[in-house]
């Protein structure tokens, strides 16, 4: 979900950049690369999880590029400022979630439940860092999947530039809560994380989102 949110935000930035001086062309190239990159990554992840043939990756990437580009271009000019601000929030949120969670995983070194032979002796409290590690089985805290799933909070900003959704804030929030909750639950059930891991992963993205929204988005919905 974080990849979808990221390339969607990149698409919005590509299509709304003002055509002024060299910065316009630099923005088009940089955000365009992000747009293609994350479209490709999203397609690859879907194909991998569903065991789809390789050609579907290229097909879905093309579909992503066309659909999101057209959607971004369809936004009326009077909402372009709000659209750009929301897109910036989406990009920073996705990148920040990955960077912060990855850094904490490496520094914390908490063993995953599924890897424990003797849980009573191998379990460690979430608030006690163990050791620096690059071993995935010792990267339980915090949950990357939960942090990435929480990036979907970005869609609650859609009403800022899509008028028809202005009265749909509650529905968007309910959808977001259900999605994040299901991802968190699935990670615990699979033994990949403890409840504190998934809670912290979600809280990291939530904290970043709240800060960015307060800084960039006008709360006049």
221: confidence class by pLDDT, cuts 50, 70, 90: very low
Average pLDDT over residues 64-86: 78
Name the more confident of 9 and 55: 55
pLDDT of 92-150, one tens digit each? 898 899 899 999 999 999 999 999 999 899 999 999 999 999 999 999 999 999 999 99
7: confidence class by pLDDT, cuts 50, 70, 90: very low
2: confidence class by pLDDT, cuts 50, 70, 90: very low
165: confidence class by pLDDT, cuts 50, 70, 90: confident
Give yes or no for a contact between 62 and 51, defined as CB atoms under 8 angstroms apart: no
Q: What are the distances in angstroms from CA 28 to CA 16, 35, 165, 173?
A: 10, 10, 28, 32
C-alpha atoms less than 13 angstroms from C-alpha of 152 in its C-beta half-sphere: 18
Residue 75 DSSP label: S
Most confident of 5-9, 98-102, 156-160: 98-102
Average pLDDT over residues 191-197: 95
Distance CA 205, CA 214 (A): 14
Name the more confident of 138 and 14: 138
Both tokens assigned to 117: 């032979």
C-alpha atoms less than 13 angstroms from C-alpha of 106 in its C-beta half-sphere: 7
Name the more confident of 106 and 73: 106
Cα 22 to chain centroid, rounded? 30
Per-residue model confidence (pLDDT) at position 62: 81
Distance CA 177, CA 179 (A): 6
pLDDT of 18-45, one tens digit each? 555 545 555 555 556 666 666 666 666 6
Name the more confident of 15 and 133: 133
Residue of 164, 154, 150, 173 lying closest to 216 (CA atoms): 154
Per-residue model confidence (pLDDT) at position 212: 93
Distance CA 153, CA 89 (A): 10
Distance CA 193, CA 155 (A): 26
**Bond preceding residue 142 cis, omega within 30 of 0:** yes
Both tokens assigned to 75: 């936004």
106: three-class secondary structure by DSSP:
helix
Per-residue model confidence (pLDDT) at position 67: 77
Question: Which range among 163-167, 178-182, 200-204 shows the weakest confidence by mean pLDDT?
Answer: 163-167
Is the CA virtual torsion 127, 130, 132, 135 positive or negative? negative
Give yes or no for a contact between 180 and 124, defined as CB atoms under 8 angstroms apart: no
């Amino acid at each position: 979900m974080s990849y979808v949110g990221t390339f969607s935000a990149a698409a919005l930035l590509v299509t709304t950049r003002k055509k002024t001086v060299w910065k316009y062309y630099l923005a088009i190239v940089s955000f365009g690369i992000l747009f293609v990159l994350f479209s490709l990554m999203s397609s690859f992840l879907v194909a991998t999880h569903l065991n789809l043939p390789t050609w579907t990756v290229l097909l879905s990437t093309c579909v992503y590029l066309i659909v999101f580009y057209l959607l971004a271009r369809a936004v009326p000019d009077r909402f372009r400022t709000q659209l750009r601000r929301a897109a910036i929030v989406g990009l920073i949120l996705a990148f920040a979630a990955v960077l912060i969670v990855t850094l904490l995983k490496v520094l914390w070194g908490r063993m995953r439940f599924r890897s424990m032979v003797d849980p009573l002796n191998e379990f460690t409290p979430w608030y006690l860092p163990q050791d620096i590690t690059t071993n995935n089985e010792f990267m339980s805290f915090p949950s990357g999947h939960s942090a990435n799933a929480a990036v979907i909070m970005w869609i609650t900003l859609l009403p800022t530039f899509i008028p028809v959704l202005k009265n749909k804030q509650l529905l968007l929030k309910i959808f977001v809560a259900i999605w994040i909750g299901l991802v968190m639950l699935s990670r615990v059930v699979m033994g990949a994380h403890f409840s504190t891991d998934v809670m912290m992963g979600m809280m990291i993205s939530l904290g970043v989102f709240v800060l960015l929204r307060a800084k960039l988005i006008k709360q006049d919905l």
